[in-house]
Amino acid sequence: MIVATAKIKLYAPWVHSLKEKRMIVKSICAKVHNRFHVSIAEVEEQDTHQTIVLGVACVANTSSFSDSVIDNVLNYIESNTDAEITDIQKENR
């Protein structure tokens, strides 16, 4: 069993309230979960308006498949939000 994780840091300069940030985070998480069937949540910086840090986890039986799923999630987030991805940390166990 292989567990692939990624921590994705996004910067959204137009966000001016936590309520607005929550709406963006909920939307991204719901879309990614429904499309890729991975676990995803906001893991850090919950009180910072313009910074979003998401954690994504995928369980698979091969590392190549789990890497592919994580890469597809990253591409999907990048193409479906106006926020800029500033940092990505990936890991396989």
- The domain spans of the chain are 2-92
Q: How many alpha carbons fall within 13 Å on the CB side of residue 20?
A: 11
Q: How far apart are the first and last CA of the chain?
A: 8
Q: What is the mean pLDDT of the chain?
A: 92
Model confidence band, residue 82 (pLDDT cutoffs 50, 70, 90): confident
Q: Which residue shows structure tokens 């940092």?
A: 87
Given this model, what pLDDT does residue 86 score?
92
Helices and strands in the chain: count of H runs, count of E runs: 2, 4
- pTM of the entire predicted model: 0.88
C-alpha distance from residue 80 to each of 2, 24, 28, 73, 74 (Å)? 27, 11, 8, 10, 10
* Integer Cα distance of 36 and 33 in angstroms: 6
- The CATH number of domain 2-92 is 3.30.70.1120: yes
Burial of 50 from C-beta contacts in 10 A (0-12 / 13-18 / 19+): middle
* Chain segment 14-51, per-residue pLDDT in tens: 999 999 999 999 999 999 999 999 999 999 988 888 99
